[in-house]
Chains A and B, each alone.
Chain A
Amino acid sequence: MTTPRIRPAGAQRVPASPARRVRAVRTVGGLSVRFDIRTFAVVVLLLVAAATASVVLIGTGDFPIPAGDVLKTLVGDGSASQEFIVNDLRLPRVLVGLLVGASLGLGGALFQSISRNPLGSPDVLGLGQGSTAGALIMIVLYSGSATEVALGALVGGLVTGLAIYLLAWKRGVHGYRLVLVGIGVSSIVTAVNGYLLTKADIVDAARAVVWMTGSLNGRDWAQVWPLLIMCAVLVPLVLGNARGLRMMEMGDDVSYALGVSVERTRLLLMVAAVLLTAGATAAAGPVGFVALTAPQLARRLTRSPGPNLVPSMCMGATLLVVADWASQRAFGADQLPVGVVTGVLGGVYLLWLLVTERKAGRI
Chain B
Amino acid sequence: MIRKKVTVQNAAGIHARPASLIVKEATRFESEFHVHMYGYRINGKSILGLLTLAAEEGAELELELDGPDEEEAMERIATLFNNGFKMTDK
Q: Do A and B bind each other?
A: no
Question: Which B residues lie at the A interface, using CB under 8 A?
Answer: none
